[in-house]
A and B are shown apart, each in its own frame.
Chain A
Amino acid sequence: MNNSEKKRRNGEAEEENEEDVEDEGRDAWERTYTDERSWEALEEDESGLLQPIDNKAIYHSQYRRRLQSLSATSAASRIQKGLIRFLCVVVDLSKAAGEMDFKPSRMAVIAKHVETFIREFFDQNPLSQIGLVIIKDGVAQSLTELGGSPEAHIKALMVKLGCAGDSSLQNALELVHDTLHKIPSYGHREVLILYSALSTCDPGDIMETIQKCKKAKLRCSVIGLSAEMFVCKHLCQETGGSYMVALDEGHFKELLLEHAPPPPALAEFAIANLIKMGFPQRAAEGSIAICSCHREAKVGEGYICPRCKARVCELPTECRFCGLTLVSSPHLARSYHHLFPIEPFTEVSARQLELSRVASKTCFSCRESLLTPGTNKAGPCAACTKCKQYFCLDCDIYIHESLHNCPGCESRRITPAAASATMS
């Protein structure tokens, strides 16, 4: 255990290549170094000392690539996003999940990252619901019903963690199909399968089940943990999902979190509709009522359903009695940034910055100097296409990943005529 941990620390990259060791007559650990040639990135400064590698620039270029690909896809699909999602997460807990190629085991790695994923998912999609399904001993089992509480899902998964038997893709799909079949037509039905096994042991013809899922408009995506399988690829192609195989733990996390932001809304997957929703008011301080969710008497705290006056503890939820969707306005506002994303900033070269009119050479939003430390030369920075202000790379990332506001555009007044032009 201790030994294996040490091995991990020696290099994440080792694991990627573990499967094809014989290749080129070199060991996997040797190839990591010969392929990456990491020594070439080292540079000496004037006094002959080694300079630290600029990880920030590498990180930023990776981020920009991701942002660009994202904005390309969203531009293609206009502003429509599937914001109301019903996602079934299928976790394969057959004996293949006990394999130790991911440390300490595939199962533990899956559980850890599913927890992060569920939290991130509800942060980004407050009006959506998740249901958990596990595959064990060749049968699929529904762990949690579709619901909006992250804690309930995470707790259920942690209790049931343990692997046994074969895996069955068909059984899982049948169960998921039955669950998602009855959701309202405006919801986006999605399935995310985390598949460890290299085989599927099915009671019938899986191709028929795949066609059935396609007909029910389930968007199935699979993340594999071992190797690519034809049946998974076929499933994803047929239903419009994505199929990826994780190389290592970091890659697995990345692939999983890609499913957290809402996918572009496709008209054939969900019918646009108006949903009747209630915006409950907080119950008066000190009033005593029995809440409909826990069936306990509570003082103060809680919200009152505007249609049937039942008390609920948390939002968003569905009223137990009249079935009205209950939300608060901040829940809706949390999703608006998906609809009005800010455009990616353009990169500004050092020369452009030196010639620019900005005299102070500082980041517009955080006032950090845009000059490279130690020297008087301009460092890399980014500029907003609309307000033409300059931002440091860290602010660029923060603005696009978390803030979703351009400080430059927000701190200038657009004339009403221009404002109405941008709104329409």
Chain B
Amino acid sequence: MATLPSKPIADDVSLLVVLIDTNPFFWSTSSSSLNFHQFVSHVLVFLDLIVRLSQLNQIVVIATGHNTCDYIYDSSLDTDQVTGEGELPALYSFVLQRLEEFVNKDEKLGAKQDGLSEKRVSSLLSGSLSMALCYIQRVFRSGPLHPQPRILCLQGSPDGSEQYVSIMNAIFSAQRSMVPIDCCYVGSHNSAFLQQASYITGGVYVKPQHLEGLYQYLATVFAVDLHSRSFLQLPRPAGVDFRASCFCHKTTIDMGYVCSVCLSIFCKHHDKCSTCGSVFGKAQLDAASDRKRKASES
């Protein structure tokens, strides 16, 4: 990671890409003390805070839906800030309107699939992460003086195991371009994907204990720019589980067998790989050669 040359960036100007989880399956079933309406009002105040912390700060909001993802707001495109008397600030009304449009579109797309997707409650995090990274690359291309980008995932839905490969791809790409992924997880169980994302990219992972005070968590942890972060005591990652789960039973394992061709993980010895179809040689040949190698070394 240290091989990249340091870029001449104004170190206290941020580009914050916020990914908002709008998954209806999560928000309708969430038994917690936070409903979608309250959640959005916390987030809106937070967005306003970011814009007001520095006039050069930029925010981009991307919605992560159940069936689609889309851009909601981009402060660099926003030209008219005038608001009428007694109305909501332009930022609030614009984001609310676009969010509503998005949720309706998401619902329509879901209705087409006539209940086939009932069981899947995950949201399309890989899509919104990929879009955020593409947007950040565009900012990197714009010249040597650009704001420091970071991604903030506001996620509540559980992980979708079918997105594992694509989310990991996005995480590694973010790591390569040194973009931290911060996560504020409002769901009931910890998200293993987001814990890994924050751990690998050097971001912060927070699972608020008291959801009614969400804004306070957002403002105290995620509002400061990357430069100022080094002076703060932010929540430390605790116990990120890097153990793998096997492809055959999806159980977490300490030791297992890995196919040498496609790196699929199995908990027992098989004769044929179910992913790539390779036929394996003699069982335990690997262990035998391990011993041989050790013997020749000593």
Q: Which 5 A-B pairs have the closest CB atoms?
A: A411-B127, A365-B134, A272-B278, A411-B69, A186-B260
Binds A, one of B5-13, B207-215, B240-248: B240-248
User: Could you mark each residue 151-174 of chain B with 1 if its beta carbon is under 8 Å from any beta carbon of chain A, else 0?
Assistant: 000000000001111101111110
Given A79-B262, A337-B169, A411-B127; 12 other pairs, CB 8 A cutoff? A79-B276, A83-B260, A274-B259, A274-B286, A278-B255, A279-B244, A281-B241, A307-B255, A334-B168, A410-B127, A413-B68, A413-B120
Binds B, one of A94-102, A177-185, A208-216, A289-297: A177-185
Interface residues of A in 209-233 (CB under 8 A from B): none
Residues in chain B near residue A333, CB distance under 8 A: 164-165, 168, 172
Residues in chain A near residue B289, CB distance under 8 A: 184-185
Q: A367 with B74: in contact, given A336-B263, A337-B165 (CB under 8 Å)?
A: yes
User: Could you mark each residue 270-298 of chain B with 1 if its beta carbon is under 8 Å from any beta carbon of chain A, else 0?
Assistant: 10010010111101011101111110100
Q: A402 with B168: in contact, given A80-B278, A274-B260, A330-B200 (CB under 8 Å)?
A: no
B32 at the interface (CB under 8 A from A): no
Interface residues of B in 137-156 (CB under 8 A from A): 137-138, 141
- Bound-state Cα–Cα, A276 to B134, Å: 38
- Bound-state Cα–Cα, A246 to B150, Å: 40
Interface residues of B in 88-129 (CB under 8 A from A): 109-110, 113, 116-117, 120, 124, 126-128
B265 at the interface (CB under 8 A from A): yes
A-B contact pairs, 17 of them (CB 8 A): A80-B262, A83-B263, A123-B176, A274-B259, A276-B257, A276-B258, A277-B258, A279-B243, A323-B290, A329-B242, A330-B196, A332-B244, A336-B168, A413-B67, A413-B109, A415-B116, A416-B117
- Bound-state Cα–Cα, A85 to B128, Å: 34
Docked-complex contact A80 and B260, CB < 8 angstroms? no
Residues in chain A near residue B242, CB distance under 8 A: 279, 281-282, 328-330
Interface residues of A in 361-405 (CB under 8 A from B): 363, 365-368, 394-395, 398-399, 402-405
Select B130's contact among A329, A363, A411, beta carbons within 8 Å: A411
Docked-complex contact A329 and B244, CB < 8 angstroms? yes
| Shortest Cβ distance from residue B241 to the other chain A in the assembled complex, whole angstroms | 7
- Bound-state Cα–Cα, A336 to B261, Å: 11
* Chain A residues within CB distance 8 Å of chain B: 79-81, 83-84, 119, 123, 127, 182-187, 265, 270-282, 306-307, 323-324, 327-330, 332-337, 339-340, 363, 365-368, 394-395, 398-399, 402-407, 410-413, 415-417, 419
Select B134's contact among A307, A328, A366, beta carbons within 8 Å: A366
Select B281's contact among A84, A271, A335, beta carbons within 8 Å: A271
Residue count of chain B within 8 Å CB distance of chain A? 80
Docked-complex contact A274 and B257, CB < 8 angstroms? yes
Q: A410 with B166: in contact, given A186-B286, A272-B280, A332-B263 (CB under 8 Å)?
A: yes
Residues in chain A near residue B260, CB distance under 8 A: 83-84, 186-187, 270, 272-275
* Chain B residues within CB distance 8 Å of chain A: 3, 66-71, 74, 109-110, 113, 116-117, 120, 124, 126-128, 130-131, 133-135, 137-138, 141, 162-166, 168-173, 176-177, 196, 200, 239-245, 253-263, 265-266, 269-270, 273, 276, 278-281, 283, 285-287, 289-294, 296
